[in-house]
Structure 1
Amino acid sequence: MSTQKTVRQEAGTVEDNPVRLDREKAEQIIDALNTDLADAYVLYHQLHKHHWNVEGAEHLDIHVFLQEAYEDVERAADEVAERVQAIGGVPHASMTALSAAATVEPEDEDVYDIRTSFENDLKMYGDIIESYREHIELAEGLGDYATGQMLREHLEDLEEHAHVLDHYLEDDTLVLESATK
């Protein structure tokens, strides 16, 4: 590892940007986006945890769904981080910064049944969805329609995954529990 350190931009600072978004407006949007970035990584890790630990008769379908979900979250996080940089900011990248900025609370390290896991995921999705709606309004109110559009596209994915989780949590199933046989 190199011992020479050349800092190009300090974390927490906002520079002029090529899209000509006013610096004061950019600061507000960057704060919101760094929150979205942090929340995305909390959700990503929780979904990945559930992907690793799912068991039971519906294992494969749920395993595949969770992989799709966490991959979508990771893709969105990457786009959010790139937008932060494009409007003159520094995206949070360390676990310390991400943990401090996150507004959602992750599940603990224990492994739960899939119903409990999905209930925890659905709550987190709901909190993030509400935050995205606020951040879309903020960005567009400040004239940053590109950020608003990007967040809208991510919001559609979040809502779709929340909808699927809600369906998984319904009582109607073709799978019989061994206790009812």
Structure 2
Amino acid sequence: MSTQKEARQRYGDVHESEALRIPEEKAEQLVDALNTDLAATYVLYHQVKKHHWLVEGAEFHDIHVYLGEVADDLEEGADMIAERAQALGGVPLSGGANFEEHAPVSPEDADAYDIRTSLENDLEMFGDITEMLREHIQLANNLGDYNTEEQLREVLMDVEEHGHHIEHYLEDDTLVSQGTLD
């Protein structure tokens, strides 16, 4: 058990990085934006994992595999975001309850839904996160933090690509019967 009595750094406090030379007031804005991105990404990650576990039907395998890949990409993006927040002198947000509390997106409830409804819920969240990332990319640019801007662009590329693919899964054209013919 640790004998440390006080936190080395409290969540919300930002210490200026001598190496990065981004003024503390700018770093605070960036870390706050990154922690919001981190929270939203992990809320989406957990929802996508839920759908990965619960998918059923004729297209089960392809969607199951794809949603596993989506979750992996989201986790990789979240890691990049958290490490950048730390590099800027902040403490990355952590913990499921904290993610939901700080995220600008809300997950669906705990019930299981058909895969079309599940993917529609995912697509909505992908769109919300896309808009938020674009705003934070612009913020990083305006504050002169081109590295954060570039890293968020990488995350955005994955988010947009997965949103686009999910949109294709939701198209009406399918080889799978949608019901019985009378």
- Could you say which residue in structure 2 is the equivalent of 1:105? 106
Identify if the C-alpha distance between structure 1 residues 178 and 94 changes in structure 2 by more than 3 Å, giving closer, same or farther.
Answer: closer
Listed as ranges, the gaps of 5+ residues in structure 1 are none
Partner Cα separation in structure 2 for residue 7 and residue 30 of structure 1: 18
Q: Tell me the CA shift for residue 94 of structure 1.
A: 2.5
1:151-172 Cα shifts (integer Å, max 9, x gaps): 0011110011011110000000
| CA RMSD between the two structures | 1.3
> Mapping of 1:134-149 within 5 angstroms?
134-149=135-150
Identify if the C-alpha distance between structure 1 residues 177 and 95 changes in structure 2 by more than 3 Å, giving closer, same or farther.
Answer: closer
Q: Paired residues, what number? A: 181
Q: Tell me the CA shift for residue 31 of structure 1.
A: 0.5
Identify if the C-alpha distance between structure 1 residues 173 and 28 changes in structure 2 by more than 3 Å, giving closer, same or farther.
Answer: same
SS at match of 1:180: coil
After superposing on structure 2, the runs of 4+ consecutive aligned residues of structure 1 that deviate more than 4 Å are none
Residue 82 in 1 paired to residue 63 in 2? no
Q: Tell me the CA shift for residue 178 of structure 1.
A: 5.1
Partner Cα separation in structure 2 for residue 5 and residue 50 of structure 1: 41
- State the TM-score, normalized to the length of structure 1: 0.96
- Could you say which residue in structure 2 is the equivalent of 1:47? 48
Could you tell me which amino acid in structure 2 is paired with residue 46 of structure 1? Q
SS at match of 1:26: helix
Residue 5 in 1 paired to residue 5 in 2? yes
Identity among equivalent pairs (%): 59
> Mapping of 1:125-164 within 5 angstroms?
125-164=126-165
- State the TM-score, normalized to the length of structure 2: 0.95
Could you tell me which amino acid in structure 2 is paired with residue 109 of structure 1? A
Q: Tell me the CA shift for residue 3 of structure 1.
A: 4.8
1:19-72 Cα shifts (integer Å, max 9, x gaps): 111110000011100000000110000000000000000000000110000110
SS at match of 2:180: helix
- Could you say which residue in structure 1 is the equivalent of 2:170? 169
Q: Tell me the CA shift for residue 105 of structure 1.
A: 0.6
Partner Cα separation in structure 2 for residue 68 and residue 180 of structure 1: 35
> Mapping of 1:59-70 within 5 angstroms?
59-70=60-71
Listed as ranges, the gaps of 5+ residues in structure 2 are none
Partner Cα separation in structure 1 for residue 169 and residue 122 of structure 2: 12
